[in-house]
Structure 1
Amino acid sequence: MRSIDYFDKQAGLTPDRTVLIAGDTRYNYAEMSALSHRLAGAMRADGLEHQAPVAILSPNHGAVVTTLLGLWRAGAVWIPVNARNALDANIDYLAYVRAQWLFYHSSHAEEAREIQRRVPSIRRLICLDAAENGNPSLDQFMLPPGAPSAPDLGDPTGNLDEVTAIIATGGTTGRAKGVRVMNRSWGTMLETIGALMPADHPVFLATAPLTHAAGPFTMAGIAMGATVVVLPTFDAGEVMRAIQQHRATHMFLPPTAMYTMLAHPEVRAFDYSSLRYFLLAGSAVSPDKLRQAVDVFGPSLCQSYGQTECHLVATWLPPETVAAAARGDHPERLASCGRATYSVRVEIMDDDGELLPPGEVGEIVARGGIVGGGYFELPEATAETWAHGWHHTGDVGRRDDDGYFYIVDRKKDMIVTGGFNVFSAEVEAAIMELPEVAEAAVIGVPDEKWGEAVAALVALLPGATLSADAIKAHCKARLGSVKAPKAVHFRDSIPRTPVGKPDKKAMRAEFWAGAGRNVN
């Protein structure tokens, strides 16, 4: 089905239930339904083409949710714009997907004007929160209350082959590619999340950027009839207070945000008993930090693995498995991203396209309903990613005899030192076992003897002290001398991409400048 169909289903069942809380803004499902009809009607009256790309540039804000539902009701395609990206990168991406409309928050007014100037396909700008520079506010643009409902554009199959969104990949290794998220793959993702994380009267806390994984996760909540509480940004103290205040049941955060919460001096001062699912996704999780989080936040910690191309929940590690592992029952599963979900088949493949048995290391590949529709107008890139009849993730991993997957590394993050392959994620996990460490990233740096040497960039917790020799000794004891870092560089923080992932490209640039390539 379409995203708006899932919303309409819940609006019909529970019209009086609160759907959105954002600051002083509060709407129930019936009120939000009326708003989405008023916005969709206004967009169509203004000449919106069916499946037109419509961009949203905003920090987390309640109007983002309203706009999403309205544009989907109007038959448009969502183009999320990462407000943390460089302006030139966003302009390049919007020109590539030929965005026609731009909804923006007033805090990004200057960027909106530059986008309008440099993206020739943009024909309409609407400011979400206030009239600005001759552009109407969202409230001004909508049809007036009592206007006729927008037409129903659905078909008997739920418009399976239409596009829900075109979402940018990270773009850390080149120009961002747009992933075609189809109604069929989006719907499969929503239904999978609903089946994996059921709850009566769910309350979803949205604090990570809605332009990234928090957006799909939030829409899965609405498909479940949830109340969505939107926080403007991630602040560890505010998030902890909001969990207690709103009795949140579901929350998504990247692991680094969870680490920040664990390090907060008041982390044990709040009541987290309402939490059923504290979902960690987006990057690997330190098993030691995960064990600590279960102790603090209760048996709600869970993990999923997926990608923009293979939406969010290819694998699933449920709270009960995490809690059992934290108690010592199969503790190795704290390092797992879980088992394949019902909607997808996940396997391990070698470089020749052969599927590998349990225990063997190879590329993680997937096939099934949550795999999107390839890259927008990039058939060669799509064909390469879909080689051998599978979606190739670019992640290296293994599967155990019980079906649990373990991510070993990104293919491009493998370090070849003295002829030995070292997976950076394995070394990072060892460093993160040290209680003084807040963040760690491991890269290969040029070395005359070994070709590449293992180097660690480490950020310590506030007030903590730890020597480079202590880190090296710990890793040598845990992993052996080949995998132990030859150098440790302390940093205030680890460089991150605009979507919050460790920016290995930027880290390598510091050490490989002038080398002409990033391998030796």
Structure 2
Amino acid sequence: MFAIFADGCSWTYRDVRREARIAAVAFMRLGVEPGDLVLSWLPNGPDALRVWFGLNYLGAVYVPLNIAYRGTILAHAIRNAGAALIVVHADLAPQLDTVDRGNLTQAIVLDGDHAVAGLTCHGREALEGEEDAVGVAAGDVPPWQTQMVIYTSGTTGPSKGVLSSYLQCYTTALESFPYLTRDDRFIVNLPLFHIGGTGPTFAAVVFGASIGLVDSFKTSEFWPTIRRLEATSVVLMGAMATFLMKSPPSPDDRDHTLKSAMMVPLSLDGRAFADRFACDVYTAFNMTEISSPLRAGPNPSLAGTCGRPRAGVEVRLVDENDCEVAQGDIGELIVRTDRPWGMNHGYLADPEATARAWRNGWFHTGDAFRRDADDNFFFVDRMKDAIRRRGENISSFEVEAEVGAHPLVHEVAAVAVPSKYGEDEVLAVVALQPDAVLDPADLIAFLRPRMPHYMVPRFIRFIDTLPKTPTQKVQKHLLRTEGVVAGTFDREAAGIFIKRETIGG
């Protein structure tokens, strides 16, 4: 068995190979060749796996898009990928009507018949057919070839497409979950356009294990889903573990099959979670660009630790000149591996961002850490202006671009403010045009169709001018320190709650 899906259907490994070969032949019929990038804009489910594995079987590059993308963020990803073909769910296809579609010429629209103007559109039948010879042998796809491009939020510019080789994906899977065996079943409740979803799925392939693939994490449904799918392992990102711990104790807390949980970050007492739910807790530090250089477990006792360096990596904490800081001091974490291609090989069509990240032979994470005398590493803060909310990395640049598109907004800064769930909420600090008046609820209404649900600011604060340095750079650290002051608009307090859209009914 390889996969069990939310509707109870399942695939064996033999089924996976058959589905991948059928999809690979279908892509070949549409003109896809080895090395081509193809966009996949689909929710979790059999189709997402079919497209991913079919493209890779052919030697093409899988490029999944966040199903919450829309507007300028969607257009940027499409242009950046330069792909000619997109596979899209019919519920999402209308979003393509109003954006720059770059080099797209074809679309496979699944579970509906929406026609996208200017594109040759195919239905589900385009992915169907026979398991014919594909014409690509496994040895024809070298391990250093790009397997996938996953978009990760930019911090000083638009989102970047991370170039991940087969060897990086293999290394990440192997090193992130060394405790897995072929008898394990990963519950994959994070999306397949996110490393939190692709990582466990690929790890199951590496270890010969299986997955239970569902559409999302829901606190009330988590344990029933674990029991129904007989899952033994899970990744709990962001506030997911906090939500589970805050749920009322139940006699059923230990009545399940879960054996291990990768908690990222370790934002609460891992031992308390392990004791309550009778499973081992692990933690690690990872990014889409790297391969879990730090890890700890089972059941680490140091609060907030990300672990110690694993074998095969070197890590340093450095200042702005890449000089190592003293033990106990805060520095940026930089990483390199002894396995060639064990981390990303750059950002798609963005040589400047690649050069900034890969300076002096090390990959620069942009995250601040400290290290104790026992070589334990602790995450301190983001050296960049990213915001993390409910497991999603949010680019302040992209929030600011959409808020700034409102005609009454003069300038804006988006910063993180603490959430009671242990991560961040988004605060938009806005300076309006002279003599302008804007109801914050109207600004929220303006933003909702323009950005993913998780990016819409919770807090809006109006000020006359943003604080700046003499060189006119916004002093975001001052805005973060001030946080939510009196008079700040809180959309949730105003009864405006924005949730993820359900795809496919």
TM range, smaller chain: 0.7 to 0.9
The structural deviation recorded for 1:120 is 3.4
Call closer, same or farther: CA 1:514–1:366 in 2, change over 3 Å: same
**CA deviation digits over 1:406-432, x for unaligned, max 9?**
111111469xxxxxxxxx99xxxxxxx
Which residue does 1:122 correspond to in 2? 104
The structural deviation recorded for 1:220 is 1.2
**CA deviation digits over 1:339-380, x for unaligned, max 9?**
122242222112222234533321111001432001112222
CA–CA distance in structure 2, aligned partners of residues 257 and 365 of structure 1: 27
CA–CA distance in structure 2, aligned partners of residues 379 and 372 of structure 1: 13
Matched residue count: 412
Which residue does 2:126 correspond to in 1? 141
**How do 1:394-473 residues align onto structure 2 when only pairs under 5 Å count?**
394-412=366-384, 457-459=418-420
1:293 maps to which of 251, 254, 273: 273
Structure 1 residues 86-95 or 290-299, which shifts more?
290-299
Question: Is 1:181 matched with 2:150?
Answer: no
Call closer, same or farther: CA 1:89–1:355 in 2, change over 3 Å: same
Contact 2:40/2:87, CA 8 A, preserved across alignment: yes
Contact 2:40/2:48, CA 8 A, preserved across alignment: yes
Gaps of 5+ in 2: 389-395, 397-414, 423-447, 468-473, 479-505
**CA deviation digits over 1:463-519, x for unaligned, max 9?**
xxxxxxxxxxxxxxxxxxxxxxxxxxxxxxxx9x9596xx7x957973667315234
SS at match of 1:70: helix
Higher share in helix: 1
Which residue does 1:39 correspond to in 2? 23
CA–CA distance in structure 2, aligned partners of residues 44 and 57 of structure 1: 19
Question: Is 1:392 matched with 2:364?
Answer: yes
TM-score normalised to the size of structure 1? 0.71
Call closer, same or farther: CA 1:202–1:39 in 2, change over 3 Å: same
CA–CA distance in structure 1, aligned partners of residues 259 and 143 of structure 2: 31
Contact 2:176/2:295, CA 8 A, preserved across alignment: no
Letter matched to residue 238 of structure 1: E
The structural deviation recorded for 1:250 is 1.4
The structural deviation recorded for 1:186 is 1.7
2:181 maps to which of 187, 199, 214: 199
Question: Is 1:91 matched with 2:75?
Answer: yes
Contact 1:19/1:225, CA 8 A, preserved across alignment: no
The structural deviation recorded for 1:187 is 2.1
SS at match of 2:183: coil
Question: Is 1:103 matched with 2:87?
Answer: yes
Which residue does 2:150 correspond to in 1? 167
Gaps of 5+ in 1: 1-16, 326-332, 415-423, 426-442, 444-453, 462-494
1:510 maps to which of 436, 461, 464: 461
* CA RMSD, 1 decimal: 3.2
Contact 2:170/2:206, CA 8 A, preserved across alignment: no
Contact 1:272/1:298, CA 8 A, preserved across alignment: no
SS at match of 2:356: helix
Letter matched to residue 224 of structure 1: F
The structural deviation recorded for 1:67 is 1.4
Which residue does 1:28 correspond to in 2? 12
Which residue does 1:59 correspond to in 2? 43
2:315 maps to which of 346, 359, 383: 346
Contact 1:167/1:178, CA 8 A, preserved across alignment: yes
Call closer, same or farther: CA 1:176–1:109 in 2, change over 3 Å: same
Call closer, same or farther: CA 1:286–1:191 in 2, change over 3 Å: closer
Contact 1:364/1:397, CA 8 A, preserved across alignment: yes
Call closer, same or farther: CA 1:254–1:267 in 2, change over 3 Å: farther
The structural deviation recorded for 1:44 is 1.0
